[in-house]
Amino acid sequence: MRYLRFVIPNRSVESGYRSGFLRGAKVVQKRGVLADYEEKRLEEIFEWFNKNLPIPNRISRKRNANHKNHRGLAWFKDSALDHIRLAREVAELLHLHGVVIETLSTDRPGFIVYEDEFQVVAEPFSDSGA
């Protein structure tokens, strides 16, 4: 199984790792540079993810983990085709507004602390590229 993660260059304050594509989309929204149809499409995609991607009930191996090195990162399973298609659509939109999205791919995302049909959350191994 391969796992994919779509990231922006900026690092998350909470985790120390690169932020995901949805956070990048929120940053672009706040800039106020999106055309009305782009804004509408992003909102449709956010709504779709809210309905079709479970919220992980765990993001760390430790129950009271507050240290950045103990926070998991979400990775799509390569079988989550609709999720990946929409992530790529967001990446294309962000690219039009100067935000680079990198697609990471690995078969070793880290210590898996949560898993559902579409994604895993894993505390990254040092070689995961996260």
Domain boundaries, the chain: 3-123
Low-confidence spans in the chain with pLDDT less than 70: 59-70, 128-129
Which pLDDT score, from 0 to 100, does residue 12 have? Answer: 78
Contact 120, 109 (CB under 8 A): yes
pTM over 0.95: no
pLDDT 10s digits, 85-104: 999 999 999 999 999 999 99
In Å, how far from its chain's centre is CA 104?
Answer: 10
